[in-house]
Chain A
Amino acid sequence: MNTAEWIRLAAERIAADAAHLSRLDAAIGDGDHGHNLERGFAAAVAALPEGDAPPGKVLLAAGRAIVAKTGGASGPLYGTALRRAGKALGDTPDLDAAGLGAVLQAALEGVRELGQAGEGDKTMVDALAPAVAAYEEALAAGGDLAACAAAAAEAADQGAQATVPMQARKGRASYLGPRSTGHLDPGAASTALLLRALADVA
């Protein structure tokens, strides 16, 4: 799998959906999520290594650029996710189904460690954790990379939708208390979007 293609498609999808993501954020946060990510992923595309770099190096470069240029909570979280994913791959020249599973697992661990959020807190973890679990399940069932990624994207979508009734316990939405229920979490929504892009290039 070509991780640079994933980052490029992710940047396109984020840019196309920026206003929508920011509107989700305005409802329970401060209304900048989509525009921050648009800036961050544009920087990630600009930072992609030229030529055929190993997939891990690509993710590392993208993650560094996102941390450097995004700001907000999403910059450190997505940037750390990609950097950890890149580090997990090292210099491996090819990304196979098992390798992508390790990438997603490393990304999830990075996000959990930095953000200190668990499932049910109404954050991006609510999309990412089920996606990782679904990927592993599909892998164990003998699925190829494309099938596993599709399962992960589907689980991320469902996980994001499941944040609607949740009350936020992390991030700025947590200040709303019970008033945070009834809204899709913007971080979970952008995670689902990124995993859909992953499935589409896989």
Chain B
Amino acid sequence: MRKLINAPADVVADALRGLAAAHPSLRVDVDTRTVVRAAAPRPGKVALVSGGGSGHEPLHAGFVGFGMLDGACPGEVFTSPTPDQVVAAAMAVHGGAGVLLIVKNYTGDVLNFQLAAELAEDEGIEVATVLVDDDVAVRDSTYTAGRRGTGATLFAEKIAGALAEEGAGLDAVAAVAREVVARTRSFGVALSPCTVPAAGEPTFELGPGEIELGVGIHGEPGRERAAAAPAAEIVAAALTAIDQDMPLAGQELLVLVNGMGGTPLIEQYIAYGAAERWLAGRGATVARPLVGGYVTSLEMAGVMISVCRATPEMLRLWDAPVETPALRWGR
């Protein structure tokens, strides 16, 4: 394992110290493992809190700021945060108008956020929870823990964050986040595995010339191992899986071509170009594209494509000003 770290046990704390030093707009508490806006709480505003395992940066702490999240609680690498962390973040950002918890659908996250929601309610905080489950690689939710939460998290955090910034109430903010999730599908492809620092060994192995279709953002296996192929074919496989689940023809789309951490931007743009052509060929329009590493899996190579059948209201909220470490425009 060759990593730019000090010690495996210190990875998250050391990264939080660096995040704090680089971004005075954030208030980072290394002890409680919470990241909130420097000016939090904002009275009267619905507060958005998200969190999950670390290793997916800039998700979630990098999306804390005007127009997006109010707080984030990063767990250990690929390990959900504890209920105490979630409650600490909720308490720090609660402005009296309720807290929306945005939770990716993994068993650990669901359980810890569920306990946290109960504890926060005990403290008199009104809480709503939105579960993100957009990964079409998981086909049969009867025999699994259900679809995993991936790129739709970014869409939901941006769009619901913009609505909260406009002063909407908790129910409306939660509703738009749920609608975004319901209209988003994602599919990931891994070209190489990643190594959790505490484990020291890759989470899976790929033979030479092999790729994993439908990989999750922790290196969980997806649908199948396949032979490496040109970018256009890999992108077509991902978009075909999405299109079969949620037809895209004739739709206005929000499209994220997301680098998984180890794939350079030049390859991400190759993938985006292929995606745009594939979608145009199906009569779908990319209304808003986003290309870059936003929901990563440590140093895993690969891309994940997320597609949202956006409504005009969603596009309006997507375009609204945002000012966070990782996303900023319009302000």
Residues of A within 8 A of B (CB): 22, 26, 29-32, 35-36, 39, 67-77, 114-115, 167, 169-172, 174-177, 179
Known: A73-B111, A115-B111. A36 touches B145 (CB 8 A): no
Q: Is the CB–CB distance between A71 and B115 below 8 Å?
A: no
Per-residue A-contact encoding for B200-222, CB less than 8 Å = 1, 0 else: 01010000000000001011111
A-B contact pairs, 30 of them (CB 8 A): A22-B199, A26-B201, A30-B196, A30-B219, A30-B220, A31-B196, A32-B76, A32-B77, A32-B196, A32-B198, A36-B76, A67-B115, A68-B82, A69-B82, A71-B79, A71-B80, A71-B108, A72-B79, A73-B108, A114-B114, A169-B144, A170-B107, A172-B106, A174-B144, A175-B138, A175-B145, A175-B216, A175-B222, A176-B220, A176-B221
What B residues does A114 contact at CB under 8 A? 111, 114
What A residues does B219 contact at CB under 8 A? 30
Interface residues of B, CB < 8 Å — how many? 36
Q: Is the CB–CB distance between B145 and A172 below 8 Å?
A: yes
Per-residue A-contact encoding for B132-165, CB less than 8 Å = 1, 0 else: 0000011010011100100000000000000000
Given contacts A26-B201, A75-B82, A175-B220, 7 further A-B contacts (CB under 8 A): A22-B198, A30-B219, A30-B220, A72-B112, A73-B80, A172-B107, A175-B145
Chain A contact residues, majority secondary structure? helix
Q: Is the CB–CB distance between A172 and B218 below 8 Å?
A: yes
Shortest Cβ distance from residue A76 to the other chain B in the assembled complex, whole angstroms: 4
What A residues does B71 contact at CB under 8 A? none
Q: Which of A31, A72, A75, A174 contacts B201 (CB 8 A)?
A: A31
Q: Is the CB–CB distance between B78 and A32 below 8 Å?
A: yes
Complex CA gap A178/B117 in Å reads: 34
B65 at the interface (CB under 8 A from A): no
Complex CA gap A22/B78 in Å reads: 13
Q: Is the CB–CB distance between B199 and A31 below 8 Å?
A: yes
Complex CA gap A35/B137 in Å reads: 28
Q: Is the CB–CB distance between B108 and A72 below 8 Å?
A: yes
What A residues does B62 contact at CB under 8 A? none
Chain B contact residues, majority secondary structure? loop
Complex CA gap A140/B278 in Å reads: 68
What B residues does A71 contact at CB under 8 A? 53, 75-76, 79-82, 108, 112
Q: Which 6 A-B pairs rank lowest in CB-CB distance, beginning with the nearest?
A: A174-B144, A76-B111, A73-B108, A72-B108, A31-B199, A71-B79
What A residues does B78 contact at CB under 8 A? 30-32
What A residues does B80 contact at CB under 8 A? 71-73
B84 at the interface (CB under 8 A from A): yes
What A residues does B112 contact at CB under 8 A? 71-72, 75-76
What B residues does A31 contact at CB under 8 A? 78, 196, 199, 201, 203
Per-residue A-contact encoding for B69-91, CB less than 8 Å = 1, 0 else: 00000011111111110000000
What A residues does B111 contact at CB under 8 A? 73, 75-77, 114-115
What B residues does A39 contact at CB under 8 A? 76
Q: Is the CB–CB distance between B203 and A76 below 8 Å?
A: no
What B residues does A174 contact at CB under 8 A? 143-145
Q: Is the CB–CB distance between B148 and A175 below 8 Å?
A: yes
A176 nearest in chain B by CB position = B221
Q: Which of A26, A72, A179 contacts B203 (CB 8 A)?
A: A26
Complex CA gap A170/B137 in Å reads: 16
Shortest Cβ distance from residue B112 to the other chain A in the assembled complex, whole angstroms: 6
Q: Is the CB–CB distance between B115 and A175 below 8 Å?
A: no
Q: Is the CB–CB distance between B218 and A68 below 8 Å?
A: no
What A residues does B143 contact at CB under 8 A? 167, 169, 174, 177
Q: Is the CB–CB distance between A67 and B138 below 8 Å?
A: no
Shortest Cβ distance from residue B304 to the other chain A in the assembled complex, whole angstroms: 15
Shortest Cβ distance from residue A196 to the other chain B in the assembled complex, whole angstroms: 24
Complex CA gap A29/B145 in Å reads: 12
Complex CA gap A167/B142 in Å reads: 13
Shortest Cβ distance from residue B252 to the other chain A in the assembled complex, whole angstroms: 31
What B residues does A169 contact at CB under 8 A? 143-144
Complex CA gap A170/B148 in Å reads: 13
Complex CA gap A26/B199 in Å reads: 9
Q: Is the CB–CB distance between A170 and B76 below 8 Å?
A: no
B115 nearest in chain A by CB position = A76
Shortest Cβ distance from residue B113 to the other chain A in the assembled complex, whole angstroms: 10
